Structure 1
Amino acid sequence: METLSSIESFVRSAELGSFSAAARRLSMTPGGVSKNVAKLEADLGVRLFYRSTRSLKLTEAGEHFLAQVTGGLDAIQTAIANASREGGQPAGTLKVALGLAFGRDHILPLLGEFLTLYPAIKPDWRFDNRQVDLIGEGFDVAIGGGIVLAPGVVVRELAPIHLVLVASPAYLKSKFMPQTPAELYKLDALVRYSQTSNQITPWNLKTVAGNQATIELQPRVTLNDPEALCHAAMASLGIAHVPMPHALQHLESGKLVRVLPDWYTEHGVMSLYFSAKKLMPAKTRVFVDFIVDKFRTQQLAKKWSAI
């Protein structure tokens, strides 16, 4: 296993371009990664990297060695992950990336049942409203919407994402209930700043009948989190345009109501993302199947539909 660790340190350093980045991926220190690579070079009798204070570049021998070992390393690691079972159960650390509010409200409540089924799996879940580098950061799974599909990553769809307009009953009582998209310009807009596009997101609305309207309002409040937008709307600060997974519980409680209920926005699909390995580790496979089954049995695709 010592040689395998050295090879993994080499491969990740080559992929990520530095010992520090490889160390973060492997949960090691940069010194530990550098030591592993140095030992591998000593064992092979060749230099694999040109090193400087600012860069790490493969030598010709390093390029040839990387091409020969990369696929084999992934296959060996998958075989080890599948063989490392406790009592016949999938085992190992399961690193998952989740959005803050979405993960907390919809995925975290499932964790107890998942651990009962698979007690040898150790969840390592990271809650953050950003798109992660699934492979580069060493995640087994990411759950979210609108994630750019990078090479080596596959997707399994869970539910369409619809955005709807919401406001508090008190706010609408103090103003009025709009009947057309044009009347939205008379009300206070709570708008979202997209960290992906680095701009304010317009409201691209449509109806089942095929009507369309693009609304770009002057913001009364600008926020970068959909759950924060829901809370701002519940505080009667204005009208928000938010995903149904965030709005549903507040609509069911009556704290928010739909504005222009015939209008909505299609915003991609909530999906599971994972590495496209021929042999998926057992811990990843059972987690993916578990989440897909929960979305099906809880009928979340139907509940989150704005239609």
Structure 2
Amino acid sequence: MPNWTLKQLESFAWVAKLGSFRGAAERLNTTQPNISVRISQLEATLGVRLFYRDSGSVALTPIGHSLLAHAEKVLLASDEFSQHSIRSDQQAGVLRLGVAELIAQTWLRDYLLDLREVFPNVDVELRVDLTINLREELVSRSLDLCLLNGPISNFNITNIDLGSVPYLWVASPRLALAGSDIATMASHAILTHARNTRHFVELSAHFRDGWEGPIRIVPSSSLAASLQMTLDGLGIAPMSRTLVGKHLESGELVEVPYPWKPSALIFTASYAHTPASFLLRRAAELAGERAARHH
């Protein structure tokens, strides 16, 4: 029988994914020397060299590449075996969750309650941010699971569909808009998302290409702030119906039938599937179930 351990395989997988002994140590809540010892012992047991080490950099050897997939299969089988003997309410630990603000403003509360019901002993560390930042932190493994504008094209990332969110134009009735043509739209401040978002780029291009006069486009990194400014009559904005539905029903906002709208947002629950984790997989599935009920 081989003399390797699951801890050694886990360390091997994380060093390979992060390209760093230090990063693997932080992720596994241990020390860098411990990771080095585990890798050295695994290499001695297998009789092969798994990594090239050069001035702090780490890269898989050809045999390391070929063995990584087998190690991940063993870890996945171990994880699935454990889940058959450990109930969800016995899962413990921390889930580092990143969430786009639109979800945070709509169904995040219900989702967190779902998580607490299924995983009562798992604590959630929450970060609400722009998708561009959440993507980077997920790929670098600073976050475990993200509910964001996806999908993420990365072979290590699994994306679960959370549905699409179309836009509509809204304004405060106090603006008393006389029409919905481009001239009317351009006569008011256009409230939009932050500059480094697809929403802002699309909106800016539309008015730049279709209107020769001056235009005031006011970006904001806070969706809540943009909504409040719209409610206060400080401008008009394309918003999702899920966010402004109650304000339309109350009459605080009215829909502006301007024919062009930014592309609908497509959301995913995205997580790294290697090494395998029942918690991440089930938490992502719960997000899909909650999103389906919300829509």
* Short-chain TM bin: 0.7 to 0.9
The CA deviation at 1:106 is 1.4
- 1:143 is matched with 147
- 1:129 is matched with 130
Which 5+ residue runs of structure 2 have no aligned equivalent?
Answer: none
The CA deviation at 1:229 is 2.0
The CA deviation at 1:162 is 0.9
Picking from 206, 211, 226, the partner of 1:214 is: 206
Distance 2:4 2:47 in 1: 17
Matches within 5 A, 1:289-300: 289-297=285-293, 300=294
Q: Any conservation in 2 of the 1:177–1:259 contact (CA below 8 Å)?
A: no
Identity of aligned residues (%): 25
Larger % of helix: which? Answer: 2
- 1:232 is matched with 229
Shift in alpha-carbon separation, 1:178–1:22, aligned structure 2, 3 A = farther
The CA deviation at 1:36 is 3.1
Distance 1:17 1:65 in 2: 16
Shift in alpha-carbon separation, 1:29–1:185, aligned structure 2, 3 A = farther
Shift in alpha-carbon separation, 1:34–1:188, aligned structure 2, 3 A = same
Q: Any conservation in 2 of the 1:188–1:239 contact (CA below 8 Å)?
A: yes
The CA deviation at 1:154 is 4.1
Q: Deviations over 1:21-51 (max 9, x none)?
A: 3344434454443343234335445443232
Distance 2:85 2:126 in 1: 21
Distance 1:142 1:161 in 2: 17
Distance 1:186 1:286 in 2: 48
Matching residue's letter, 1:215: F
Distance 1:276 1:120 in 2: 22
Q: Any conservation in 1 of the 2:162–2:291 contact (CA below 8 Å)?
A: yes
Distance 1:262 1:162 in 2: 13
Q: Any conservation in 2 of the 1:158–1:272 contact (CA below 8 Å)?
A: yes
Residue 21, structure 1, aligned to residue 18, structure 2: no
- 2:179 is matched with 178
Distance 2:113 2:173 in 1: 36
Shift in alpha-carbon separation, 1:29–1:242, aligned structure 2, 3 A = farther
**Secondary structure of 1:193's aligned partner:** coil
Q: Any conservation in 2 of the 1:91–1:122 contact (CA below 8 Å)?
A: no
Matching residue's letter, 1:109: D
Distance 1:34 1:235 in 2: 59
Matching residue's letter, 2:24: A
Picking from 221, 240, 244, the partner of 2:241 is: 244
**Secondary structure of 2:194's aligned partner:** strand
TM-score by length of 1: 0.72
Q: Deviations over 1:244-290 (max 9, x none)?
A: 3333344345443322266544414333335568x972x45554454
Shift in alpha-carbon separation, 1:263–1:63, aligned structure 2, 3 A = closer
Which 5+ residue runs of structure 1 have no aligned equivalent?
Answer: 205-212, 302-307
Distance 2:291 2:67 in 1: 44
Distance 1:56 1:285 in 2: 29
The CA deviation at 1:168 is 2.6
- 2:257 is matched with 260
Matches within 5 A, 1:1-307: 3-44=5-46, 46-80=48-82, 82-83=83-84, 85-86=86-87, 89=89, 91-93=91-93, 94-100=95-101, 102-103=103-104, 105-130=106-131, 131-132=134-135, 134=138, 137=141, 141-170=145-174, 172-173=175-176, 176-195=177-196, 200-203=200-203, 214-216=206-208, 218-260=215-257, 264-274=261-271, 281=278, 283-284=279-280, 286-297=282-293, 300-301=294-295
Larger % of strand: which? Answer: 1
Shift in alpha-carbon separation, 1:100–1:28, aligned structure 2, 3 A = farther
How much is the aligned-residue C-alpha RMSD, in angstroms?
3.7
Q: Any conservation in 1 of the 2:100–2:149 contact (CA below 8 Å)?
A: no
The CA deviation at 1:161 is 1.0
